Structure 1
Amino acid sequence: MSGRRRIRGNGASTQRQLSGSGEAPKPPATEPTRHLRGRRTPRWLKITSAGLALVLVAGIGFAAFLFLQLQGNIKTEDLNAGLNGQNGPVADDDHDPIQILIMGTDTRSGQDASYGSEDESSGYGNSDVMMLLNLSADRKNVSVISFPRDLMVPFPGCKNPHGGDPLPAQPSIQLNAALSLGGPGCTVATINAFTGLTIDHFMLADFTAVKDLTAALGGVDVCVSKAVTDPASGLDLPAGKSSISGEQALAFLRTRHAFGNAGDTDRIKAQQAFLASMTRKIKSEGTLTDLPKLYNIANIVTRNLTVDTSLASPAALITMANRLKDIDLSQVSFVTVPSGADPADSNRLVLSEPTAAELFQAVRSDTSLTSPKVSTQSPTAPSSKTTAPATVSYDKSIQPVVVSNASGLPERAAELLKLLGTAGYTGSVQGEAVANQASSQLLYGTGFADVAKDVAALFGIPASSLVSAPAMNGVQLIVGADFATGTKYGSVTVPKDVVAGTADQPIQCQDVNDLPR
């Protein structure tokens, strides 16, 4: 730098150097060539560039800070607490059909201690809200499927969250008890077992999450047919429309006595109306594309949220937001799992079949519930060619064919036996029911491969489902949840009128009842 200052100095300084030595000084070795000298970079541009670099670095640092803050908020647990511990293939959250089980817990621990007694303030609590958010692979359809908390279902058994012996399988439990027994992963395992689904993620929210989220959104519009006061939940609203948040939003979602017949199904209707209203507001205000607003909501939600480990990052949550931001509200459907009164206890519910099985099959096959004619191919349908009939002749009437039910539907084996009899397999018998499983199998012993091929061809069962069992004498069809309805494997029927409403419909007023509180 000193050489440059001499050469490029003022005129007087240069003249003194020349007169003192009698010859011009040689340029220093570091003197830049003529082409590189040019104009110096203006000072203002240096300052601006440095400022931009500083802003960029600060921005990256701040983004990293926000990311780490959200990451630190999130609490995680294993997705599946079932005894087999199998989650199935890992889904691509950006392209595959995705099922997210959203649960609301009634635990009174931590910030929620004011809502109950000391006896209610430990453990996971019961899941009073269970909604399956189903995102289609093509990003065009969303279904929100509510599971009644009073639904009686088989319990597959779960790992003990406190260590020790596993929780044994039971013929029947109330669905919302699975959370208190084994945590959110146990609820996932239980629903997987009787639906044949493979749920990809879960979110478990507490009371505080509902209050804070609705406050961040500036309230959610609801409507009641007349003024309502429910001491049990704290709900207190005038007739007509209201914008509610915080405690009143929580009371609206929790009340079991105020609406309809004061039962679980009418509470679900109110919850679905609330969620539809909230969806419309988020969509109309562009929340999912407004990063500051989205971050604020994510920060609020993640502080009061437990998710499975694969969903435990802001990036994963943003992926879900991206999938939802362009959905047409008319393609956001709300459904309640078909159910009816339990013959053993009128205060409980059981699945209504075959309607429930048809619904689960439609979800497994990524079929739109609002526009089934544009449904995609079922992922449970054959990935290889359907099994071709055998060419060897034999007497069908004497073939030992056994049908065992693993679908979860009590009469399913009997239905398929009738079809086998009509096809000439009159010696077919019903075997003992086996534990529910998602996929059907066709087992065959030595010398019975031809019979197995013909039975598979009869029902459209793919070759990949045939399993050699040399010790077996005959053929056994194990009917899984993927063949719970219909006469052809992989067929899909969307139950009529299963969709209760869509998010684009005007706000619905809830019928306030006059039942004693």
Structure 2
Amino acid sequence: MPDASRPFARHGRLPRRRAWTTLLSIVASTLAVVLVSGTSVAAIAGAQLAGAPTSVKLSTDDQSAAKTADITAIKGGANILLIGSDTRVGQFDANEDVEGARNDVTMLIHVSQDHTQLTAVSFPRDLMVPIPACTNPETGTSYPAATSAQFNTALGNGGVSCVVDTVENLTGLSIPYAGLITFDGVIEMSNALGGVDVCVAKDIDDTYTGLHLTAGSHSLEGSDALAFLRTRHGVGDGSDLARISSQQVFLSALLRKVTSDGTLSNPITLYKLAGAALNNMVLSDGLNQPKTLVGLASMLRGMSTSSMLFVQYPVADDPDDSARVIVDQTTAHTLNVALQTDEKTTLSDSSTGRASEDQSGSSGTAPSSAATPSSEPTGTSTSTSAASPSSTPLPSSITGQSAAEETCSVGN
């Protein structure tokens, strides 16, 4: 947890272009699509992929093998990188003036080899990391390797492949599958579900996104869901790190709804969810085929939400720039090794992030919009599920939550 004796680093507070990191919710819709029977996924994936955008090639050595590999039998588990682009091309707000495309949301999905745990690792866009030499596939422009560059510039440098290479270098993992995601599907997906119920512990008031929510419980869909996932200035300390933890509140609530109320048994809703995900994604060659999606479905089918972990990649304040972060090398090494060795982990001893708190101690559970914000310190959480004997607790400095944990987003 941040040291209370000094102010938070206000990552992303400097005057610059507006951030559109709404794309994380499409990760959840993708998970929703694959949390069903293989037969259903086969029928839906076949229909949706037929009209989906063209695939994208990766430069990884195992890309060609991924096209024929059985995703359910990959030694050490399956790794998929989901990238959210802030491009406006072809989007609902295409008239917005944003230069280039950046990977403003990047999430690594690791599914264990025995299919009992999913770990979703979010990488802050303001993270300073080494980026390898890359060539932009659209312009042909070559970019030299950089020993320290802002993480969200990788997509503009060399497309999806460059982001994959950057994360592989950072984590030591092999990532044969990737998907590039646009944000129009956020609205479609939330509408298909009829809204997602989120808890707000303290009023959110963000003039940048137009989001104004009183403390309490809110069912969000369409543009409201979009604004909730976009908001940075309205939650926590106003940083990108705060937004990540607030987004985890939404994603966990969404997955609980999808897996608990018969959503996946409704073929109309299921088809809409599939369309929201697949029609707003460009998949790598290995992922862009029905058999891979069917295999992914079989891996996740029946997995408990308590075994779906959302974590933020460990970072520390950048001593050279208060608006940036650097890798917390010691803690990141622990997480990297756990993923590399396919180790079962738990967040039972970890904390929620800068803009979320445990719902059991928050009055945000009340349906009344006049609920009084919790006085409990933000950043503490007790997991709703106990660790199995074979699970290893991650360091407490690694923030996050399981999808089973009911948490509230905290306004600022």
- Normalised by the length of structure 1, the TM-score is 0.59
Check conservation: 2:246, 2:410, Cα contact below 8 A: no
1:93 aligns with 2:64: no
Give the RMSD, CA atoms, in angstroms.
Answer: 2.6
Correspondence 1:335-414 to 2 at 5 A = 335-370=311-346
Check conservation: 1:87, 1:198, Cα contact below 8 A: no
Distance 1:278 1:79, change over 3 A: farther
Distance 1:165 1:78, change over 3 A: same
Larger radius of gyration: 1
Check conservation: 2:42, 2:290, Cα contact below 8 A: no
Q: Secondary structure at the match of 1:94?
A: helix
Shift of 1:79: 4.5
2:308 to 332, 336, 348: 332
Per-residue CA distance 1:239-295 (angstroms, 9 max, x = gap):
211010111111111111011110011100011111111111111134446555433
Distance 1:162 1:237, change over 3 A: same
In structure 1, give the amino acid aligned to 2:410: D
Aligned to 1:172: 148
Shift of 1:352: 0.4
Q: Secondary structure at the match of 1:188?
A: helix
1:241 to 192, 217, 220: 217
In structure 2, give the amino acid aligned to 1:111: Q
1:144 aligns with 2:103: no
In structure 1, give the amino acid aligned to 2:164: V
Aligned to 2:92: 112
Aligned to 2:226: 250
In structure 2, give the amino acid aligned to 1:503: A
1:509 aligns with 2:408: yes
Distance 1:301 1:247, change over 3 A: same
Aligned to 2:202: 226
Shift of 1:161: 1.1
Shift of 1:175: 0.7
C-alpha distance in structure 1 between counterparts of 2:49 and 2:126, whole Å: 35
Q: Secondary structure at the match of 2:302?
A: coil
Q: Secondary structure at the match of 2:110?
A: strand
Aligned to 1:304: 280
Distance 1:219 1:346, change over 3 A: same
Distance 1:65 1:338, change over 3 A: closer
Query: 1 or 2 for the larger relative contact order (CA 8 Å, sep ≥6)?
Result: 2
1:154 aligns with 2:134: no
C-alpha distance in structure 2 between counterparts of 1:353 and 1:287, whole Å: 41
C-alpha distance in structure 2 between counterparts of 1:217 and 1:315, whole Å: 26
Aligned to 2:159: 183
Q: Secondary structure at the match of 1:346?
A: coil
Q: Mean alpha-carbon deviation: is it higher for 191-200 or for 316-325?
A: 316-325
Check conservation: 2:347, 2:402, Cα contact below 8 A: no
C-alpha distance in structure 2 between counterparts of 1:356 and 1:67, whole Å: 35
Shift of 1:348: 0.5
Distance 1:87 1:358, change over 3 A: farther
C-alpha distance in structure 1 between counterparts of 2:122 and 2:143, whole Å: 26
Distance 1:89 1:174, change over 3 A: same
C-alpha distance in structure 2 between counterparts of 1:324 and 1:156, whole Å: 33
Aligned to 1:75: 53
In structure 1, give the amino acid aligned to 2:127: L
Distance 1:150 1:312, change over 3 A: same
C-alpha distance in structure 2 between counterparts of 1:233 and 1:167, whole Å: 33
Q: Which runs of 5+ in 1 are unaligned?
A: 1-62, 373-491
Distance 1:204 1:64, change over 3 A: closer
Check conservation: 1:136, 1:366, Cα contact below 8 A: yes
Correspondence 1:466-485 to 2 at 5 A = none
In structure 2, give the amino acid aligned to 1:107: T
- Normalised by the length of structure 2, the TM-score is 0.73
1:103 aligns with 2:99: no
Check conservation: 1:339, 1:350, Cα contact below 8 A: yes
Aligned to 1:213: 189
Shift of 1:312: 1.1
Per-residue CA distance 1:186-224 (angstroms, 9 max, x = gap):
111111112111112112221201111111111111122
Per-residue CA distance 1:269-325 (angstroms, 9 max, x = gap):
011111111111111134446555433311222111111111112342233223222
Shift of 1:65: 8.9
Q: Could you say which structure has the higher helix fraction?
A: 1
Aligned to 2:169: 193
Q: Mean alpha-carbon deviation: is it higher for 334-343 or for 102-111?
A: 102-111
C-alpha distance in structure 2 between counterparts of 1:64 and 1:197, whole Å: 28
Per-residue CA distance 1:349-395 (angstroms, 9 max, x = gap):
100021101101110111112299xxxxxxxxxxxxxxxxxxxxxxx
Check conservation: 2:311, 2:399, Cα contact below 8 A: yes
C-alpha distance in structure 1 between counterparts of 2:178 and 2:142, whole Å: 22
Check conservation: 1:235, 1:255, Cα contact below 8 A: yes
In structure 1, give the amino acid aligned to 2:92: D
Q: Secondary structure at the match of 2:345?
A: coil
Distance 1:371 1:347, change over 3 A: closer
Identity %: 38
Correspondence 1:39-78 to 2 at 5 A = 69-78=47-56
Shift of 1:231: 1.8
Aligned to 2:360: none
C-alpha distance in structure 2 between counterparts of 1:64 and 1:332, whole Å: 23
Number of equivalences:
325
Correspondence 1:426-441 to 2 at 5 A = none
Check conservation: 2:42, 2:294, Cα contact below 8 A: no
Shift of 1:225: 2.1
Q: Mean alpha-carbon deviation: is it higher for 168-177 or for 104-113?
A: 104-113
C-alpha distance in structure 1 between counterparts of 2:242 and 2:51, whole Å: 34
C-alpha distance in structure 2 between counterparts of 1:86 and 1:341, whole Å: 35
Per-residue CA distance 1:421-475 (angstroms, 9 max, x = gap):
xxxxxxxxxxxxxxxxxxxxxxxxxxxxxxxxxxxxxxxxxxxxxxxxxxxxxxx
1:267 aligns with 2:235: no
C-alpha distance in structure 1 between counterparts of 2:343 and 2:65, whole Å: 20
In structure 1, give the amino acid aligned to 2:81: L
Distance 1:325 1:293, change over 3 A: farther
Q: Which runs of 5+ in 2 are unaligned?
A: 1-40, 349-390
Check conservation: 1:88, 1:198, Cα contact below 8 A: no
